[in-house]
Amino acid sequence: MDQTIRQLLIMAGANKASDVHLFSSVLPKFRVNGELIEVANFEIGRSDEMSQKILSILNPEQIKKFELEKEIDFSLAVDETRFRVNIYYQKGEVAAALRVVPSEIRSFEQLGLPKIVSEFVNLKQGFVLITGPTGQGKSTTVSSILNEINRTRKTHIVTVEDPIEYIIKPEKSMISQRELGFDTLSFNSALRSVLRQDPNVVFIGEMRDLETIQSALTIAETGHLVFSTLHTNSAAQTIDRIIDVFPEGAKEQIRMQLSTVISAIVSQRLVQTLDGGRLPAVEVLVANSAVKNNIREGKSFMIDNIIQTSADAGMITLEGSLARLVNQGLVSEEVAMSHALKPTEFTNKLRSIKGI
């Protein structure tokens, strides 16, 4: 690896950056607390020089794949810091985005997650989805859940990831972490064989297509505990996304299958705090009988109402979560409002908490 790139990545870890962006003819940028900042005093050189610096991260086999597919995902360790790397072309030039993966898997308390999330650790079977836009801490939340299972239960945890982010060190559990392109050639082939590996818990890094979603549902249906992620904004949208992937003739069967296995959906955002950090605001759906009935009957539009009226079951609306962060003096009202999907509901929740 080029030494200039190595030093830059070491600097990213030291500066608590969440991401590093490398472009030709543009100063490198770090994302710190959600904002992009330029890395000063960095020699860019010619665009072809920067391309070579970026490509120096790749081994010969990865270079062949990149030249063929024009983009590549993989994991990378530099000293004590791990990165999830995507190298791609933009305007004919090589660019890279590297996500910093902390070496420590943080607890629910350290992450600021609600207590209900810790209860998913005790599930013996079912389907739990962690959702939200890109860069909102989905992988971090899943790693915390899996590591708690690892610490407290004697299970076999199998993950299929692209690429592996957090390294889970075995404690009570046995851990099999499989990386796409390194340990397996595809998500679908890995998921077809996972049931032969005697798993108790399966983590599917991302449900990308019909085949992956179908495999996740089948694995959950056969008595396993399955975790996965989706880039959706809410529980209702997540349910619609899963069902809409399938052809019209299969939708009724998928609704039935999903209603049988679904356990919970957590939709989260990372919100900037008053002290410059970030905390998750979450919507939590717990799949009770009312939720399952509405999924079966194709009434996902009723899900929001169920969440609003089921706080006693541990359910949380995104607006309620944001209002609590404001009331606790952790987040400004303006920042919270910018993340609310229903601003009026957020205002009402905040007034209710304050007793106004």
Mean pLDDT estimate for the chain: 93
Say if residue 224 is in the same domain as residue 182: yes
Are residues 301 and 209 part of one domain? yes
- Tell me whether residue 31 is in a domain: yes
- How many structural domains comprise the chain? 2
> Is residue 45 domain-resident?
yes
Among 101, 130, 163, identify where a domain stops.
101
Using pLDDT thresholds of 50, 70 and 90, give the confidence band for residue 349: very high
- pLDDT for the residue numbered 45: 63
Domain containing residue 39 = 3-101
pLDDT at position 41: 73
Structure confidence at residue 120 (pLDDT):
97
Q: What is the CATH number of the domain that holds 297?
A: 3.40.50.300
In a domain, 35, yes or no: yes
8 and 116 share a domain?
A: no
Last residue of a domain, one of 50, 81, 101: 101
Helix (DSSP H) and strand (DSSP E) numbers for the chain: 15, 13
Query: Are both 83 and 222 inside the same structural domain?
Result: no
Q: Is residue 333 part of a domain?
A: no
| SS3 state of residue 15 | coil
- Residues 73 and 133 reside in one and the same domain: no
Lateral strand order in the sheet of 126-131: 174-179, 156-161, 201-204, 225-230, 126-131, 262-272, 278-286
Q: What is the CATH number of the domain that holds 23?
A: 3.30.450.90
Instruction: Give residue 40's pLDDT.
Output: 77
The share of the chain scoring above pLDDT 70, in percent, equals: 98
At 124-139, the pLDDT tens digits run 999 999 999 988 999 9
Parallel/antiparallel/unpaired status of strands 262-272 and 201-204: unpaired
Whether 350 shows a pLDDT value over 90: the answer reads: yes
Residue with tokens 């505990």: 225
pLDDT score recorded for residue 33? 86
Tens digits of residue pLDDT in 56-90: 999 999 999 999 999 999 989 898 788 999 999 99
Q: Which pLDDT belongs to residue 313? A: 94
* Residue at 248 is within a domain: yes
- Identify whether residues 194 and 215 lie together within a single domain: yes
DSSP E strands in the chain: the ranges are 19-23, 26-32, 35-38, 71-78, 81-90, 93-101, 126-131, 156-161, 174-179, 201-204, 225-230, 262-272, 278-286
Q: What is the pLDDT of residue 47?
A: 63
119 and 17 share one domain: no
Domain end (from 101, 116, 147): 101
Using an 8 Å Cβ cutoff, are 313 and 340 in contact? no
**78, 139: one domain:** no
Q: Is residue 321 part of a domain?
A: no
Whether 143 and 44 map to the same domain: the answer is no
Tokens 């069902």: give the residue: 243
345 assigned to some structural domain: no
Tell me the per-residue pLDDT of 288-335, one tens digit each, with 9 for 90 and over: 999 999 999 999 999 999 999 999 999 999 999 999 999 999 999 999
Q: In terms of domains, do 29 and 177 share one? A: no
Q: At 262, list the tokens.
A: 């679904």
First to last CA, the chain: 59
